[in-house]
Amino acid sequence: MKRKLLFSSLFIFIFLISCAPGKVNINNIEDIDFNIEDIKLSHSYQLKDPHVEIISNHSDLELNEDFKILVSLGIMESSGLNIKDITKDNNNIKIHVNSLYSEDNLQLAVPQALINVDKSLFDMPLENYSFEIINDNGHLLDIKLDMNDAISKVESHFKLKANISPDIQLVKQDESLVWIINYSAIFDRSTPDLPLVKFSAKINAMDGSILDSDKTLISNPIDNGLIVNIETDNFILYKKFLEASKDKNAKEELWIYDINSKESELIFTSDHTINSTQFSPDLSYISLIESCDNSSNLYLIPKKTKKSLKVTLSESFSPDFNLWKSSNQLVLLERKDSKTKICQYNVENDEISDCIQINTQIHNLSYKNGNYIFTEKIGKTLNKRIYFTKDFKSLDYLTNGFNPEFIDENNFIYLQDNEDSDTNYLNIYSLNKRKNLYSMEGYIENFQVLSKEDISFTEKKDNYNYYILSKLSLKDILNETPGKVETEFISCSISNRVFYNKNHDLFYLNIDLPFEHRYKHLTYLVDSIEDIH
């Protein structure tokens, strides 16, 4: 990511009077050769005054390293700008510009130019230079509140707190300049239960007065806690984290939320850490691993009684992961160093059998109809080796990636980090053909297998702190039908932990609160996807 060094600069606007032809040469003033890489009218509005920024790809900015100069003229009515010349007088750099005006393209904006300069003329550390913008004809607008000031005023006055940037515009209304601010979702701190609301406001940019506002409730939180598993049409499992006190150790609680009755119930309490919570395929049991320092315990919780049952295991076997193969059979993993011990546990017989140890530490295990896929860590890279097996005796290496999950017994989905950029890939892989059937590049955070026919995925919006939830149809991909595969937009989101319920067209947001509060995580149910657009 580019590192930006900001320098205090003296900015002067000088209106020049035409003079007789000719040019006075001053010996210590040097012209700096430059070329313009880009000119744009920025609507980010973060800089209401003129500003110069040095941009470099390197962490330590030295004279022999590449750098560029970003010139911002401040908020004004403009159609662009022209860089006339750049001069150096000792340690003072003067950038002479003209603002451009065209009735066909006159905008309220921040004219900006990204400039490459002749670095050979810079003979001192860059922080020793001052930069001066001389604009022959530009007129800054009389704005009291810049964009950040307007946002801070709205959030402070209405007791709101956001974890995303709002949509914001600067417009002319009558003789005033007005900030129009819209939040698709924001926390309302004026009430103790912290509801999510859609909010909009108009602020006079010239005197700071609030002209108008509107607030619409999106959702009250279901509860505090972190979602650890979800069966989208029926139940949600979530953990609560309790603070330690003088009399009690820190505790974790496991709760179940009934999606149909909209009721929550405590089903397990631990003085240690609750891991690997799983629903059995018929939803009759919930399994979990309780991790205690160097040991662990396996528990089964019948959904009817909600009474936890501790499974007696050999003292030499301490699993840290469990996965349901069927409604009465669990796969248990004990992962230590670079090895994994795998055992089968029969719920009906209360017996452990078929134990095997492999010289691989398994991650991200997925199972479907007799087939397993799992990953093996490769150094410190995000991508891991993905293997296929039926019995853990014969391991078949497939590809590199992470978080593989079966769609059906013959196909799975996985993510793959693009090590040459900030992006990654969402891939659909065929076991029968041993190849990817589909690959999509983006800023993909996670995915959810909805059925054999479609998946949903969450993608971070580039350069913004919000997310897009979309749906991808798998029918044409799995059938390898020629033609363009298209995704369907579902909703925007202020969290990357989104759980979509396709049958009821609603979703759950698990959100880390962006401010100090007695709770760290809250879960919200959004009944209509239109509410958060």
Q: What is the pLDDT of residues 345-364, one digit of tens each?
A: 999 999 999 899 999 999 99
Asked whether residue 26 carries a pLDDT value surpassing 70, the answer given is no
Beta bridge partners of 224: 522
| Residue 58 pLDDT level (bands cut at 50, 70, 90) | low
Q: In which band, very low, low, confident or very high, does the pLDDT at 64 lie, cut at 50, 70 and 90? A: low
Q: Looking at residue 187, what is its pLDDT?
A: 95
Tens of pLDDT, residues 364-397: 999 999 999 999 998 888 999 999 999 999 999 9
Q: Is the pLDDT of residue 13 over 60?
A: no
Is pLDDT of 16 > 60?
no
The pLDDT of residue 503 is 84
Residue 83 is classified by DSSP as E
Of residues 132 and 58, more confidence is placed in 132
> pLDDT value at position 514?
86
Tell me the average pLDDT across 524-533. 69
Q: Closest by alpha carbon to 83, among 75, 91, 73?
A: 73
Distance CA 140, CA 121 (A): 31
**In this prediction, what percent of the chain has a pLDDT beyond 70?**
90
Letter string b/e over residues 384-400, b meaning 16 or more CB atoms within 10 A of that residue's CB = bbbbbeeebeebeebbb
pLDDT higher than 60, residue 255: yes
476 Cβ contact list (under 8 Å, min separation 6) = 483, 485
pLDDT of the residue at 428: 97
Mean pLDDT confidence for 176-195: 93
The one-letter code for the residue type at 75 is: I
Residue 478 pLDDT grade (very low, low, confident, very high; cuts 50, 70, 90): very high
Give the pLDDT band (50/70/90) at residue 532. low
Per-residue confidence (pLDDT) for residue 491, from 0 to 100? 86
Interval 143-169 mean pLDDT: 91
pLDDT of residue 324: 96
Alpha-carbon gap, residue 445 to 415, rounded angstroms:
9
The pLDDT value given to residue 256: 95
> What single-letter DSSP state applies at residue 433?
T
Cα–Cα distance between 223 and 233 in angstroms, integer? 18
Q: Is 9 a residue whose pLDDT tops 70? A: no
Residues 119 and 63: their CA atoms lie apart, in Å, by 7
If you average pLDDT over residues 486-501, what whole number do you get?
A: 89
What is the pLDDT averaged over residues 102-112?
88
What local confidence, expressed as pLDDT, does residue 516 receive?
86
Check residue 7 and give its pLDDT: 34
Query: What pLDDT sits at residue 274?
Result: 95
Structure tokens at 126: 């860059």
- State the pLDDT at residue 406: 97
Span 75-87, mean pLDDT?
91
Residue 253's pLDDT is what?
95
Q: What is the pLDDT of residue 293?
A: 79
- CA dist 305 and 283 (Å) reads 13
Query: Cβ of 524: how many Cβ atoms within 10 Å?
Result: 22
More confident residue, 106 or 66: 106
> What's the whole-number average pLDDT of the chain?
87
Which helix H or strand E contains 401, and what residues bound it? Answer: strand 396-408
DSSP summary character for residue 17:
P
For the cut 70, the answer to whether the pLDDT of residue 529 exceeds it is no
pLDDT category of residue 67 using cuts at 50, 70 and 90 = confident
Partners of 531 in beta bridges: none
How would you label 315-329 residue by residue, b for 16+ Cβ within 10 Å and e otherwise? eeebbbbbbbbeebb
**Does the structure show a pLDDT above 50 at 3?**
no
What pLDDT is stored for residue 217 in this prediction?
94
Q: Alpha helices, DSSP H only, in 320-367?
A: none
What does the pLDDT average to over 173-199? 92
**Has residue 24 got a pLDDT over 90?**
no
With a cut of 90, say whether residue 11 has pLDDT above it: no
Residue given tokens 């032809």 in the structure block: 21
The answer, yes or no, to whether residue 426 has pLDDT greater than 60, is yes
CB proximity list for 16: less than 8 A, separation 6 or greater: 136
Q: What percent of the chain has pLDDT over 90?
A: 58
pLDDT at 5: 35
